[in-house]
Homo-oligomer: A and B are copies of this chain.
Amino acid sequence: MINIAILGYGIVGSGVACVIEKNKKEISKKAGDEIAIKYILDIREFPGDPYENKIVNNINQILDDPDVQIICETMGGIRPAYEFTKRALLEGKSVCSSNKELVASHAPELLRIARENNCNYLFEASVGGGIPIIRPLNYSLTAEKIDRIVGILNGTTNFILTKMEKEGADFATVLKEAQELGYAEKNPEADVEGHDTCRKIAILSSLMTGQNVKYESIYTEGITKITANDFVYAYALDMTIKLLAISEYDIENNLNVCVAPFLIARDHPLYFVSDVYNGIFVHGNMLGDSMYYGRGAGKLPTASAVVSDVIDAARHIGKTITCFWDDNAIKLNPMDEYRGSYFVRAKDTPENIAKVQELFPDFVVVKQAVTGDYAFTCGPVAEKDFNEKIALLPSGINSRIRICI
């Protein structure tokens, strides 16, 4: 029997208990041993809960118990999760985490401590919820030079954008609906400003490069400025708008990483990733295009990923599984130097039209679909040059969106 503890009995933590209970037989078979929940750490009490008698409020009870071999860290946040994880690993207890903030900020150190103590720090649930993506990157696409990852990594924003597209509604209206449905939090900033997506692409980029991609250095733009009128043009261009996280090497082998809303064409595999689903597109130099799709959030899918880590840890007691993510922070190409294509809705004035023709030699006019717009696409062009030129338009713009190519 392998005893585990769950830190944090919230949505994901209670999901872990639920998955272990529901699929007990399969999980024992796959793990090679029965997985038993010995403790659940939470400061709250849960009277009447089936796991009521497992609840403890002192981490030491768990860390000091040599019977506990694996710990699920489903608390979220940096503190005290960081300290608890570190202490557990130092005790040789493997930690399986759904905590993207902690993984994005401290994984290299925690992975090193795990190696030094012959245990594992695993975090399949930190990106893409139930979609297997961490393990495919670490175990499956090992013969590849992965040169590009593009992800739809946040279910809330994808739900909002899908609804805006379908209903022709504006951001604020749909956000309110999403909040009422429980798909968006009361304080939606982490989702709609792209911070959540940013943590996740930092994790994927680090695994892609084997070095440390710091989330703080990733250019991040949210979806709050996207309007119903932008979708009118997306439709006309046979595209849609998605909040994408992109991590890719350019031709000079600089690493570009950013999070922003992008126009994406119908022939891209991510075009069809709608509603709360996530999709992760991975390009390798031998494999070409591949894509992984599923539920990027939610109690049971996320918990299922945590439990798959528990099974992996159980299969590797006393042995650290290879994971390349070293401390060395990789320098990202500044966003100013990112070369992309753009869609622009300039204000429809003769001055603007003349200036666009002067400044953007490769511009392509998009048929006007909204009164007041002079719409065009341009690029590829360096972001800095684009921004400088756009600032010169005498009457200003209504919006500009990058195009994923």
Contacts and interface: CB of A to CB of B under 8 A. Distances in A.
Contacts of A271: 272
17 contacts: A20-B143, A30-B322, A31-B142, A124-B140, A130-B286, A131-B290, A139-B139, A141-B308, A143-B305, A144-B304, A272-B272, A287-B300, A288-B295, A288-B298, A288-B301, A290-B293, A291-B293
A298 B284 CA distance: 14
A22 interface: yes
Contacts of A330: none
Given A30-B142, A30-B322, A290-B293, 17 more contacts: A19-B143, A23-B285, A26-B143, A29-B324, A130-B290, A135-B136, A140-B308, A144-B304, A269-B272, A269-B293, A271-B272, A287-B294, A287-B304, A289-B293, A292-B293, A293-B293, A315-B322
A315 to B, nearest CB: 6
A312 interface: yes
A303 interface: yes
Contacts of A130: 284, 286-288, 290
A318 interface: no
- How many copies of this chain does one complex carry? 2
Nearest to A292: B292
A286 B143 contact: no
A22 B144 CA distance: 9
A145 B24 CA distance: 10
Contacts of A124: 140
A72 to B, nearest CB: 12
A77 interface: no
A272 B291 CA distance: 12
B19 A307 contact: no
A286 to B, nearest CB: 4
Contact of A136 (B132, B300, B322): B132
Contact of A142 (B141, B292, B301, B311): B311
A203 to B, nearest CB: 16
Given A26-B143, A272-B269, A292-B292, A32 B132 contact: no
Interface string A157-171: 000000000000000
A64 to B, nearest CB: 28
Given A286-B300, A288-B295, A292-B292, A308 B19 contact: no
A304 B290 contact: no
Given A286-B303, A289-B294, A290-B131, A139 B312 contact: yes
A268 to B, nearest CB: 10
A27 interface: yes
Interface string A294-328: 11001011011101101110010000001010000
A183 B182 CA distance: 48
A83 to B, nearest CB: 27
A393 to B, nearest CB: 37
Given A32-B322, A272-B269, A272-B272, A286 B142 contact: no
A56 to B, nearest CB: 24
- List 10 tightest A-B contacts by C-beta distance, closest first: A132-B140, A290-B294, A143-B307, A291-B293, A286-B304, A130-B287, A30-B142, A286-B300, A142-B311, A132-B136
Contacts of A287: 130, 294-295, 300-301, 304
